[in-house]
Structures are given as C-alpha cells and as structure tokens.
Amino acid sequence: MTDYYSISDLLTDEQQLIQKSINEFVEKEISPIIETHAQNCTFPNHLISKFGEMGIFGPCVDQKYGGGGLDYITYGLIMQEIEKGDSGMRSVASVQSSLVMYPIEAYGSEAQKEKYLPKLATGELLGCFGLTEPNHGSNPNGMETRLKKEGDHYILSGSKMWITNSPIADIAVVWAKNDEGRIKGVIVEKGMKGFTAPEIHNKWSLRASVTGELVFDDVVITEENILPGKDGLGAPLKCLDQARYGIAWGAIGASIDCYETAVKYASERKQFDKTLGSFQLTQKKLSEMLTEITKAQLLALRLGQLKNQGKASTSQISMAKRNNVEMALNVARTSRQILGGMGITGDYPIMRHMMNLESVITYEGTHDIHLLILGADITGTPAFV
C-alpha cells in the first residue's frame, strides 16, 4: 500500500484494522471480477449483501439503527479502499451511506429511521438519491419536480436524471419543491403507482455501476414518507458535503491502483535493454505521481480530523474533492502512458479507472462548481448567480 509519509502511523489501531480488512475484501471480491463487469456493463448484484456484512453501508450511522458508529477518518479509509477496486463500487457505497442513510438519520422521523436504516445497513434495502434533473444539474435550486398538497396527501410529479442505482434501488430519497417553493425530502418506494426508474445506457464511464432516471407521474405520497427534519436547498446540499468528503478519499484509492500498476510495469518492461523505470523520464513521472498522491493523502487526513471535530466547511470539502479527483485523473493518464499500448487494454485497471474518474470529476458538483464554491468563500461573492 502506497504510504510514503507513513500516514498510517497517524491512524488508530481500529482504523488500521478496518482499512486492512476492507483492502482484503476488495482484493478478494471486487478486483478479480470488476473488469469483466465493466466490459459487459453489468452490476455485480451479489456484492450488495457482502457490503452489508462488511459494515460498508452507514459506517458513521448510529449503532442503534444498525450503523457502525465509526468516525469520519475510518469512513474515508473505507471509501479509499473500495475505490482502489472501482469508482462505481465506491459510488454504491457512498450513495447508500451519505446520500440515503445520512438524510434519513439527520432529517427523518423516529419511525422512518427505524423502518429504513437497519435494512439499508445490511443491504436488504438499496437506496438512491434524486436531486439532478434533465434541465437542472449544477443548479438544483431550479428544480421542476413538485410535491403538491391535495387533501390529506401530496402528489409528486417530475423527473430526475443521472441517478446512481435508481433502476435497482428499493427506495429513493427525492428532492421536490412544495406549494411554498421550499425543497422537501421525500422517500419514494419501488412499486408506488406512477413511479418508474428506467436505466440510462451507453455509458463509457462507471460501466459496472447502474445509472438511471426517476420518473414521477402523479405519485401519491403520504406524510409518513416526507422527511420532517429539514427543508430548503441546504438539506440536500448538506448530504452532498458527506458524499463529497468520501470522494476526496475515494479518488486516492483509484490513483494508488494506477500508480502501483505503473511502478510494477516499469520495473518489468524493458526497452533499449533497460527497464522503463531506469529511464529518467519514467522516474520523473513516478516521482511526481507519488508526490501528488502523498499531498492528497495529507489533505484528506486533515479534512477527516476537521470533520471528526465537526469543523469541516463546505468549501474545505470542495477543495479536497476537486484537488483529489483531478490528481487521480492525472495519475491515471500518466500511468496509462507508462504502460504504452498495454495501458489501453482491460488487462490492466488503468483505463477503467480513467474513464470512471471522468464521471467522478463531474458528479457531486463539477470541477468548476467546486472552484466557484471556493471562489465564493474567498471573495464573499458567489459567481454562480
């Protein structure tokens, strides 16, 4: 495991143990099968219950609801190890933990927490998160999905786009505007009349992860399925803080897999009777990649410390998500070059990571949106309005 600055020395015994067990799980259960799933655009369904058994779903959720009750550095390490296997598998884990379990725990009623959280923790239920719409991606506040009051119930109408897990999810945490124009969180269950979740096909990225739409054709919603704890755009954005934090760690995992593959290849492959690793230009590439990975690890660890103290700000999270995903994409591109022609094949994980990271740099706030969140924090003037 690449750890040039002995960052593991700063971890507790429990954090190291959990990281090791997830690392072993990924090497046994994900890495051997993921390339085939990505090539075939299939999702390894059987992993859902295994993720549940490993405590990957809701590691920071309270134990009384089936969660792990763990700290945020441990959560980050789990995301890093899973994304070493594949960003799409980390997507499943982060959507379930940060975008489904988190809002139910943070904004849900006691009855909602008891009904959904334990089953989400074991993987008996799979969830998805619907914020993005066909006409509103970076600007979710413009959403057109409506939750209209009618007598003693509500009518949900509209659609969501680019939703991770939607075609296979049992429940969807959906964000819609009520009659007062306030954004509310709604738990929509599979099988509700008027609710469908068609799959989006033809992706060159996150091919082992299922992505789809959410379509609400006048779905009847009762009060018991509305999250009572918080409304307004801040409610979904707070969930995004959780998930973006996990991605800042996860991307490091993908970069380490690419870097370690390149180091190994450079030590074995010979040209001009010398290993690639003996050429100065290859050494420059490897040295720069290791430096950038190490900087990203330190950024993530410090962010984790702040998060554990309840002090990590949205813009600090944006800085780390933006930096670490761009770093991972650059490491993937450079590693691919070190492998020459072999780098484009599925015999190595690099091209898959690279294509996955093109989604990771776009979802959970695009690269540019995170720059603007930082810019707004520095200057006090948001540039997106």
Name the one range near ligand FAD by CB under 6 A: 48-56, 132-140, 263-271, 298-306: 132-140
Element (H, E) at 169: none
Phi, psi (5° rounding) for residue 261?
-65, -40
The least CB distance from residue 158 to ligand FAD, in Å, is: 13
Q: Which amino acid is at 346?
A: G
Over the window 296 to 325, marking each residue x when it contacts ligand TGC by CB under 6 A and - when it does not, the resulting string is ------------------x-----------
> First and final CA of the chain: distance in angstroms?
44
Q: Binder to ligand FAD among 170, 260, 368, 377 (CB under 6 A)?
A: 368
The least CB distance from residue 25 to ligand TGC, in Å, is: 19
325 in Cβ contact with 361 (< 8 Å): yes
Name the one range near ligand FAD by CB under 6 A: 38-46, 102-110, 122-130, 346-354: 122-130
**DSSP letter string, 289-347:** HHHHHHHHHHHHHHHHHHHHTT---HHHHHHHHHHHHHHHHHHHHHHHHHTGGGGGSTT
Give the CB-nearest residue to ligand FAD: 137
The verdict on 132 binding ligand FAD (CB under 6 A) reads yes
3-state secondary structure of 81: helix
Is residue 364 among the annotated active site residues?
yes
> Cα torsion at 110, 113, 119, 120 (round to 10°)?
180
The verdict on 164 binding ligand FAD (CB under 6 A) reads yes
The verdict on 364 binding ligand TGC (CB under 6 A) reads yes
Q: Which residues pair with 196 in a beta bridge?
A: 215
Name the one range near ligand FAD by CB under 6 A: 145-153, 160-168, 223-231, 318-326: 160-168
Give the C-alpha distances (Å, rounded to integers) separating 255 from 20, 94, 112, 194. 18, 18, 38, 42
Strands (E), the chain: 127-130, 146-150, 153-164, 171-177, 183-189, 195-196, 211-221, 270-271, 274-275
The least CB distance from residue 5 to ligand TGC, in Å, is: 27
Q: At 138, list the tokens.
A: 């970076």
Q: Binder to ligand TGC among 106, 355, 369, 371 (CB under 6 A)?
A: 369
Over the window 310 to 349, marking each residue x when it contacts ligand FAD by CB under 6 A and - when it does not, the resulting string is ----------------------------------------
Instruction: Please list every residue from 142 through 201 that binds ligand TGC, using CB under 6 A.
Output: 164
Within 8 A by CB and 6+ apart from 98, the residues are 239, 242, 243, 245, 246
How many residues in the shown chain lie near ligand FAD by CB under 6 A? 22
Instruction: Please list every residue from 109 through 138 that binds ligand TGC, using CB under 6 A.
Output: 129, 131-132, 138
Element (H, E) at 34: helix 31-40
The least CB distance from residue 239 to ligand TGC, in Å, is: 8
The least CB distance from residue 330 to ligand FAD, in Å, is: 18
Over the window 198 to 237, marking each residue x when it contacts ligand FAD by CB under 6 A and - when it does not, the resulting string is --------x----x--------------------------
Q: Say how many residues make up the chain.
A: 385
Q: Which amino acid is at 381?
A: T
Name the one range near ligand FAD by CB under 6 A: 53-61, 158-166, 224-232, 248-256: 158-166
Q: Which amino acid is at 264?
A: K
Q: What share of the chain is helix, strand, coil (3-state, %, to 5)?
A: 55, 15, 30
Name the one range near ligand TGC by CB under 6 A: 5-13, 184-192, 231-239, 329-337: 231-239
Q: Binder to ligand FAD among 72, 102, 154, 162 (CB under 6 A)?
A: 162
Within 8 A by CB and 6+ apart from 101, the residues are 57, 58, 61, 67, 117, 120, 121, 127
| Contact residues for ligand TGC, defined by CB under 6 A | 91, 94-95, 129, 131-132, 138-141, 164, 232-234, 237-238, 240-241, 243, 314, 363-365, 369, 373, 382, 384-385
| Contact residues for ligand FAD, defined by CB under 6 A | 95, 128-132, 137-138, 162-164, 206, 211, 359, 362-364, 366, 368-369, 372, 384
Residues recognised as catalytic: 364
